[in-house]
Amino acid sequence: MTFLPPAILGSFTFLLFCINTVFWCSLLFVFAAIKLAVPVAGFRRRLDRVLTGIAEAWISGNRWGLAATQKIEWRFEGLEGLEPRRSYLVISNHQTWVDIVALQLAFNRKIPLLRFFIKKELFWVPVLGLAWWALDFPFMHRHSKEFLEKHPEMKGKDMETTKKACEKFRGSPVTILNFVEGTRFTPAKHERQKSPYARLLLPKAGGTAAVLAALGDHLDSFLDVTIVYPDRVPTFWHLISGQLSRVRLKVRAFPIPAHFKNRDYDGDGEFRQEFQTWLREVWERKDAELESLVTA
Q: Long-range contact list for 49-52, CB < 8 A, 24+ apart?
A: 51/134, 51/135, 52/112, 52/113, 52/135
Q: What is the dihedral of CA 17, 61, 104, 57, to 10 degrees?
A: 130
pLDDT mean across residues, the chain:
88
The residues spanned by each domain of the chain are 73-295
Return the top range by mean pLDDT from 118-127, 182-191, 213-222: 182-191
pLDDT at 161 over 80: no
Whether residue 145 is predicted with pLDDT greater than 70 in this model: the reply is no
Write down the pLDDT at residue 250: 96
- pLDDT tens string 244-266: 999 999 999 999 988 888 888 88
pLDDT band at 296 (very low <50, low <70, confident <90, very high): low
Q: Is the pLDDT of residue 194 over 80?
A: yes
Mean pLDDT of 38-67: 92
Q: Which of 58-62, 127-131, 224-228, 277-281 is the least confident region?
A: 127-131
Distance of CA 72 to the CA centre of its chain: 21
Averaged pLDDT, 132-152? 70
CATH topology of domain 73-295: Glycerol-3-phosphate (1)-acyltransferase (3.40.1130)
Residue 157 confidence (pLDDT): 62
**The whole model's pTM is what?**
0.90
